[in-house]
Amino acid sequence: MKSSNSRQGRRKIFVWIVLGCVALAVGYTSRVLLRANAETIHAQVEAQAQGQVTPLSIAEQRELEAIQNQPHLVFLHQEVPDYGKLTLASLDPVLSKSVQTMFRCDRVYYAAGNGICLLYDTSTAPIGHLAPIPVEVMLFGSDLKPRHQFTVEGTPSRARISPDGKYAAFTVFVTGHSYGDANLSTATILLDTATGKNLGNLEEFETWKDGRLFQAPDFNFWGVTFARDSNRFYATLQHGNAIYLVQGDIAARKLTVLHEGIECPALSPDETRIAFKKRAPSIIPGMMPNWQLTVLDLTTMKETELAEKDSVDDQVEWLDNNHILYQKDDPDPSKWPSIFVVPADGTGQPEVLIPSATSPAVVR
Amino acid sequence: MYPIENSSDLIKNKRKHLFSREMWVGVGINVFFLGLTSLLTDISSEMVTATLPLYLLLTLRLAPLQFGLIDGLNQGASVLVRVASGLIADRWRRAKEVATAGYAFSAICRIGLLLVGRNWLALSGVVLLDRIGKGIRTSPRDSMIAASVSSEKLGTAFGVHRAMDTAGAMLGPLVAAGFLALAPGSYDVVFIVSFCFAIVGVAVIGLLVESPAASPTAATDSPSVSSRTVVQLLARPNFRALVLISSALALTTLSDNFIFLTFQRRFTFSLSLFPLLYVGVALVYMVFAIPVGRLADRLGKQYIFVAGYGILAVVYGLLLLPGLPQALGWGILLLQGLYYAATDGVLAALASAILPEQWRTTGLAIMTTGTGLARLFASLGYGALWTYLGPNQALGIFLLGLFITVLLAWVFLSRVERHTANEIVE
């Protein structure tokens, strides 16, 4: 009799626990639904995709235009809740004025009145850890409003605009998450900024090596950098374990292999040097390689290792002909990456230029 | 005329019947409640598994490499605590309490995810704790399932449990998707609801499941349980053979990820359809778990178990076969689900049948530790073979290995049956 009593008692407790859990689930969910009007990152991203970025105040707008009329830096703020907010800062003197906008990106680049923004599309993020997340690709102007946009699947990686603003290029990982992954697959796509037209994946271009057509199904391209004559560009080609520097011709839809071992090239403003990350393979297969920032002199073909000795996985940006900017993760994973500056001739020391920021673009 | 019974008696009898061993496909309400706990817990954990990478990436903005490390912790952590929890459960005959503690552990972790925020170390700690909870609860729970039914119904009982477990695993991502559709980007809602499911799961095992009574034979010969038990158990030829065979088979088993990657290479389709493959296989597994379990009880568990791995060998073969039409390709998913139905719960039933009741939890823990480690080595080995020799060569080597192991398993396991028969005669 006693055991059946205690069994009944336990059933009663069980019912109360179930009721409590239902109340918690319903209560918490409705509380979140009621705060739906509040400023959530998600709501902003959706608004941005529809071209409705929260406007700046009149004073901020004036400040923004003042910065845009002189040499300035464009970068992305990193700390939550301002994660990914596009920020403009004056260059002379550095950071004397800055304005944070409500426009968000995961990778950005800007040149000659044209910008490209890669943004994870959180509104349609799928369930399941193996499915790629959709990425919004947006081409925008100085008013920070998207002019052309479309969705690709993958992980945002690199973005560039040609110095005259005519072309844009971007790279996403289709599979894999880093340039060290064994099963990496990338897509690098060229765009016409005026029309938003897709000019093709670099894998569709003809590749030439030592005067012969060079083809393989495992080709991966990434890291486009444009020359001042915007028809010419440079990029990285991976075939098997080999990494090549290729020179591209947009009009001829042609790529030529120039040199081996150059990854994520960035052409200097005077077009005499290429800064890149030099890969030192890791001893253990499957581990991330180590990348040393290096500058290649295009006339002497001499390589100079820069003073930054930590591994850097970024396509760098030239601040001027003597300094480069790049983003580097903090060794503490709970801290945000920052933008560093280092002399381009191997001297000096790396210094933090902008803490908790990524994706620098120098606009002159 | 039929005698008219007192209606309250009738209801009482009916209620008695509801909670009797004969109900619920003849395995009793206790197995059903244990299945319900797993169903609720799997809804809870799969809600988190399906959304955690997105939460890390989109809300916390942790780099993929960092959550690769967290994934790695997922794999190995639970192995460490399995045998210890088995020994504790057997020694103090507290399978239910140990299992409940394991479920409670994981429930707390759901809240922990929200509390730790972007602190990567604490986040890894929470994931680790969740896996430890899983390691703690699995063997005592399986041992309770075994103790809740008579030995000729073990296959069916584990079939019922695995079917419910798989149903939960399938529902979890759907529930998460539903809540994310309702409140986009609000991962905190997903975690809170997941916590609620987990707590109800803990309440089911803690308050509704009965500790199965020890059989009289187990009470009489009750030897003491100590760390030496592990050695004593492995000294028993039947059990040792089963551990060796199941581990050897696991050593040639590809993880779902690898099967699906190969599948995707063969029949090129969008990676965004990947989750559908998991759902397809789980659906087949869920539907066939009970019938295959019954078949195992009727025909002999060891035969169904080895046949399951035979089916897996066919899966490998089909993946290697050139010129296979896409329509037949979907048959591979059906076979993969059947393989699960014939091996996962059936192995637990097989082990439960040959293990002495008082050492059963420890025995089950030893076996799952063996197969878990073997599976980990299989993944590492396959990854290396894939990288250095190529995908087809790697699969070919695994097919050859699996084929040989299945043949050996067939020979050894028929002997196990004769042994068991002899022991009963003695």
**pLDDT, tens only, A276-331:** 999 886 655 555 678 999 999 999 999 999 999 998 999 999 999 999 999 998 77
Confidence of residue B49 (pLDDT cuts 50, 70, 90): confident
Where b means 16+ CB within 10 Å and e means fewer, B347-363 reads bbbbbbbbbbbbbbbbb
| Average pLDDT of chain B to the nearest whole number | 83
- On whether the CB atoms of residues B416 and B408 are closer than 8 A, the answer is no
* pLDDT exceeds cutoff 50 at A38: no
Cβ of A334 within 8 Å of Cβ of B118? The answer is yes
Cβ of B274 within 8 Å of Cβ of A120? The answer is no
Report cis status (omega within 30 of 0) of the bond before A285: no
Q: Quick one: DSSP state of residue B215?
A: P
Which of B404, B423, B425, B419 minimizes the C-alpha distance to B242? B419
Whether A6 contacts chain B with CB within 8 A: no
> Diameter of chain A by CA atoms?
97
Q: Of B62, B66, B176, which is closest to A127 when you measure between CB atoms?
A: B176
Cβ of B200 within 8 Å of Cβ of A133? The answer is no
Whether A129 contacts chain B with CB within 8 A: yes
Which residues of chain A does B65 touch, with a Cβ-Cβ cutoff of 8 Å? 177-178, 288
Which residues of chain A does B204 touch, with a Cβ-Cβ cutoff of 8 Å? 14
pLDDT at residue B63, rounded to an integer: 58
Domains for chain B: give ranges and CATH numbers. Answer: 23-213 (1.20.1250.20), 224-426 (1.20.1250.20)
Cβ of B200 within 8 Å of Cβ of A78? The answer is no
- Asked if the interface predicted TM-score (ipTM) of this complex is over 0.90, the answer is no
Where b means 16+ CB within 10 Å and e means fewer, B117-132 reads ebebeebbebbbbbbb
CA-to-CA dists, residue A145 to A55, A70, A84, A197, B178, angstroms: 11, 20, 16, 18, 32
| Amino acid symbol at A63 | E
Sign of the four-CA dihedral A28, A34, A39, A41: positive
Distant-in-sequence, close-in-space partners of A57: CB < 8 Å, separation ≥ 6: none
- On whether the CB atoms of residues A27 and B195 are closer than 8 A, the answer is no
Sign of the four-CA dihedral B144, B149, B154, B155: negative
Cβ of A10 within 8 Å of Cβ of B208? The answer is yes
Q: Of A13, A33, A334, which is closest to B182 when you measure between CB atoms?
A: A33
Give per-residue pLDDT as tens, A214-256: 988 889 999 999 999 989 999 999 998 889 999 999 999 999 9
The C-alpha atoms of residue B183 and residue B391 are separated, in whole angstroms, by 41
Which residues of chain B does A175 touch, with a Cβ-Cβ cutoff of 8 Å? 271
Beta-bridge mates of residue A341:
A325, A351
Per-residue three-class SS string for B95-135? HHHHHHHHHHHHHHHHHHHHHHCCCHHHHHHHHHHHHHHHH
Whether A152 contacts chain B with CB within 8 A: no
Which residues of chain A does B208 touch, with a Cβ-Cβ cutoff of 8 Å? 10-11, 14
Which residues of chain B does A28 touch, with a Cβ-Cβ cutoff of 8 Å? 188-189, 192-193
Whether A175 contacts chain B with CB within 8 A: yes
* pLDDT exceeds cutoff 90 at B426: no
Backbone phi, then psi, for A121, in 5-degree steps? -90, 95
Nearest chain B CA: its distance from A334 CA (Å): 5
Q: What value does the CA radius of gyration of chain A take, rounded to a whole number of Å? A: 24
Tokens of A255: 């790529």
**C-alpha triplet A311, A315, A316: angle, nearest 5°:** 85
